Amino acid sequence: MSLDLHAAAPPDPGPPRAARHSRRRAASLTRLDLKYSPYLYVLPFFVIFAVFGVYPIAYTVWIALTDRSPLNSTISFVGMDNFVELITQDPQFWNAVVNTFGMFLLSTVPQLLLALMLANALNRKLRAQTFFRMAIAMPIITSTAVVALIFSMIYAKDFGLVNWLLDSVGLDPIDWRANRFASWFAISTMVDWRWVGYNALIYLAAMQSISKDMYEAAALDGASRRRQFWSITVPQLRPTIIFTLIISTIGGLQLFTEPLLFTSGSGGLSGGSEGQFQTITMYLLDVMNQRFRWGYAGAVALVLFVLIALMSAINYLLARRISSDK
């Protein structure tokens, strides 16, 4: 009897069933990870946004439709009554709207123009360049209360620096808190002093990203520095200008701390003896904390939200139109 040395080996039984199941499970988990992990990464943002963004807005909408007040234990649904009263029967609200927009225009327009000019100056080769860039950032980190205190002394009626300068040139002193336009101007200078440097740093960072080849080509063509600024720098800064314009609009229409501290104890949330510099946010706090009409304050907050959204959209469209025309 002979042995067949070339007989075929028995077939490989393959990996055990448990190992195959483990590999299939690992592959399934990998597919699930690739499919759902991006959503899990961004989930914390949406959770935080829902808690601190969506919920407060939804609660404000609900409370604006009621007569909620800490003085009443019951809450009644009043529908649009708060909005009707606010828009048609509340002259103090419209006074606050006029004050807010007045100070917004007086502060935002010079603020962005000065920031643009300052950034253009700092973008050149200067001695102590780092020092100047740090210096314009100092007002940003200064406490608002300190700024308001200093400017309150500068614009003091009897011993203020500005009135002393006016008196030295033979002009009559100005009561900066009693006069409406004068109070707007004083508060606007306070806002500008704080935020010109901030916007200048944003513009400066954007200017650093503009290609130097464009300026060199323009210089070879005989373009002056002023021509280069308006023909190259400003068009290249269009997205940044739109961004700062929208941010300044949001901040300007929510102006609160500067006018509140400018009162120096005379007027408080009323913004002066006749409300000459009361803003919408000051009026909102006055309604909520002094009159205890929380539902009505909710209506004021929603109207302010709509005004900010409309002004931001208008500024965005105007900035794009002006840039495209150029």
Q: Tell me, what's the pLDDT at 113?
A: 93
125: amino acid identity, one letter: K
DSSP 3-state of 77: strand
DSSP 3-state of 319: helix
Closest listed residue to residue 177, CA positions, set 144, 158, 146, 155: 155
Q: Tell me, what's the pLDDT at 142?
A: 85
315: amino acid identity, one letter: N
Q: Domain residues of the chain, as ranges?
A: 85-325
Q: How far apart are CA 92 and CA 110, in angstroms?
A: 28
Helix and strand totals (H; E) in the chain = 16, 0
Q: Can you say whether the dihedral through the CA atoms of 93, 308, 114, 326 is positive or negative? A: negative
Q: Tell me, what's the pLDDT at 105?
A: 93
Query: What pTM did the predictor assign?
Result: 0.81
Q: Tell me, what's the pLDDT at 1?
A: 47
293: amino acid identity, one letter: R
What would the DSSP string read from start to end of 194-222? HHHHHHHHHHHHHHHTS-HHHHHHHHHTT
CATH 1.10.274.100 fits 85-325, yes or no: no
Q: How far apart are CA 248 and CA 237, in angstroms?
A: 16
Is there a contact between 296 and 202 (Cβ–Cβ < 8 Å)?
no
Query: Consecutive 10-residue runs of the chain (326 residues): their mean pLDDT?
Result: 52 56 64 71 87 90 89 84 93 95 93 92 79 83 85 86 90 88 93 92 91 86 84 88 90 90 72 88 91 92 93 83 63
Is there a contact between 254 and 216 (Cβ–Cβ < 8 Å)?
no
